[in-house]
Amino acid sequence: MFDLSFTFDTYIHSIMDEVRRSKEELESYTESLEEVISERTKLLREQARLDGLTNLLNQHSFYSELKKELLRGQRRNHSTVLIYFDLDNFKKLNDSQGHKRGDEILVAVANAMQSTIRESEIAARYGGDEFCVILPESSIQAAEQLCQRLCEAIKKSTEGSGISCSMGIAISTAENHYDANLLVKKADKAMYAAKKEPGFTIKVADEHMEIPSP
């Protein structure tokens, strides 16, 4: 009877040990799975914010960041500057050399932007061959200097392609505050004024520039 009881207890203990080990393994697996899910969710959210070709912010994320910076500028009484530019002769290149070559140019421009702007500045692909840079707590003078550096970087990265760019700058200040849509329209209009002159031209939006109604 003693041997039988001992054998039974040993058997029961071994089962309980196995249950504990299984429970620990399950808890460990669950924690690991939660980490994987968290990382994948974070990655998917980040991918949803980015343009698939250039890895710059997409248009939706651009507007989200611009609205955030304009609100922050209002609260802290500082200016927010927007640079808006597009590529001259891009359609001609796309038509003559193909979309693959066009995509290579867009990626080269995006890389030139990333290597030129500061960490606090925000680069985005607005759409097509149009790009934007948000400059928090900045000035027109600082934006013009950045535009000059961007022009040089883009010229170097697209050398031989015949591509140039036209840049428009607009600013929202505490005294003259604009919402995101109006600031984009002002920068866009300044950019179109720049396109009337030879490539790599920079224009600043006039404070009294008329913006057509949507």
pLDDT digits (tens, 9 = 90+) for 162-211: 999 999 999 999 889 999 999 999 999 999 999 999 989 999 998 765 55
Query: In the chain, how many domains are there?
Result: 2
Range from 28-32, 81-85, 169-173, 193-197 carrying the lowest mean pLDDT: 28-32
Check: pTM over 0.85? Answer yes or no.
no
Q: Contact at 8 Å (CB) between 194 and 83?
A: no
Residues 6+ apart with CB under 8 A from 67: 179, 180
**pLDDT digits 0-9 by tens, 39-74:** 665 655 665 899 999 999 999 999 999 999 999 999
Q: Are residues 67 and 34 in the same domain?
A: no
106 and 189 in a single domain? The answer is: yes
- Mean per-residue pLDDT for 2-20? 66
Tokens of 50: 């980015």
pLDDT of 35 > 90? The answer is no
Range of the domain at 74: 59-204
Give the closest residue to 110 by CA, choosing from 30, 178, 165.
165
- Specify whether 76 is located in the same domain as 159: yes
Q: What are the phi and psi torsion angles at 7 (to 5°)?
A: -65, -40
- Among residues 114, 117, 126, which one has the least CA distance to residue 185? 126
Query: Can you give the pLDDT at residue 124?
Result: 98
Interval 20-28 mean pLDDT? 75
Residue 33: pLDDT band by 50, 70, 90 thresholds?
low
54 in any annotated domain: no
Same structural domain for residues 200 and 114?
Answer: yes
- Give the span between the Cα atoms of 20 and 214, in whole angstroms: 67
Q: Kindly state whether residues 89 and 139 are assigned to the same domain.
A: yes
pLDDT in tens, 116-157: 999 999 999 999 999 999 999 999 999 999 999 999 999 999
List 51, 86, 88, 129, catalytic entry? 129
Q: What is the pLDDT of residue 213?
A: 42
Instruction: Supply φ then ψ for residue 119, to 5 degrees.
Output: -65, -30
The answer to whether residue 5 scores a pLDDT higher than 80 is no
Residue with tokens 């927007």: 82
Active site residue 129: yes
H/E segment holding residue 30: helix 2-49
